[in-house]
Amino acid sequence: MASAWQSVLSVHQRIVDNGDKRTDPWLLVYSPVPVALIFLVYLCVVWAGPRLMKHREPVDLKVVLIVYNFAMVGLSGYMFCEFLVTSWLSSYSLLCQPVDYSNSPLALRMARACWWFFFSKVIELSDTIFFILRKKDSQLTVLHIFHHGPLMFNWWAGIKYVPGGQSFFIGLINSFIHAVMYSYYGLAALGPHMQKYLWWKRYLTSLQLVQLILFLLHSGYNLFADCDFPDSMNLLVFTYCITLFVLFGNFYYQSYLRKKKQK
């Protein structure tokens, strides 16, 4: 038992020692343990939450949802601008961009943008809590949970080991998509009278699918290109995006194409 524990500690030490020393002091970055604990709590909430709410009335979160969703629009817009401006000023390449591990102002600015993107994935776990409190249990799908939980780990690895470089492309595109997505949720939270202006709901899933195709092309190209960026990270992104594409594609088919055929 003691030997197994020593092995765990040894692996943990290698994980924390091999990261980017610039980002180690930042919140939740140095060790994977805090993020793992957050994920375990998240899974417990997903399991226990609907059971605790079963015999309770849905919680009225209208004001909270309006503030939360439009705050996320602001955060997503900020991250998009940071990724765009910093990559532009740094003359980043869309095809092959190694990580700049220096302490130059632009390198640190990109690393901070990546940290905010990682931290936004922690904040977005709130989406699940709001579904549970409002008794929208049908929204707690495999797609929803798989999209929110493991993505947090992916971006913890990103900010820990590769805060910049090729990572900026995912942050740039996804921040834009989320600004659009949370705009929809914020408008929807204003009340039923907004529904006539939200005809573009189905296109949100289309945007998600388009971004996943872009990520697959981007990471797939860099798996075979001669680029000074870890293949392990490109492979992680590629594999995760394939899984998400299947889940989002199934959701789009079930929600729109199948219903259209039935009509």
Digit-coded pLDDT (tens) for 233-248: 999 999 999 999 998 8
Q: Give CA–CA dist 114/116, Å, rounded.
A: 5
Query: Residue 79 in contact with residue 110, Cβ under 8 Å?
Result: no
Residue 258 has pLDDT above 70, yes or no: no
pLDDT in tens, 139-159: 898 888 988 888 899 999 999
Q: Give CA–CA dist 146/163, Å, rounded.
A: 23
Q: Structural domain boundaries of the chain?
A: 60-262
Query: Residue 152 in contact with residue 39, Cβ under 8 Å?
Result: yes
Structure tokens at 41: 């709590």
For the chain, give the mean pLDDT: 92
So what's the pLDDT on residue 226?
A: 86
| 23 DSSP 8-state letter | T
Length of the chain measured in residues: 263
Q: Give CA–CA dist 101/122, Å, rounded.
A: 24
- 3-state class of 174 per DSSP? helix
Q: Give CA–CA dist 14/220, Å, rounded.
A: 28
What is the average per-residue pLDDT within 5-25? 90
Task: Assign 3-class secondary structure to 66-103.
Answer: HHHHHHHHHHHHHHHHHHHHHHHHCCCCCCCCCCCCCC
Catalytic residues: 147
What is the average per-residue pLDDT within 64-79? 98
So what's the pLDDT on residue 261?
A: 58
Cβ neighbors of 218 (< 8 A, separation 6 or more) are: 94, 166, 169, 170
CA dihedral 241, 242, 247, 248 (to 10 degrees): 60
Rg of the chain in Å (alpha carbons)? 20
Q: Give CA–CA dist 220/240, Å, rounded.
A: 12
Q: Give CA–CA dist 200/137, Å, rounded.
A: 24
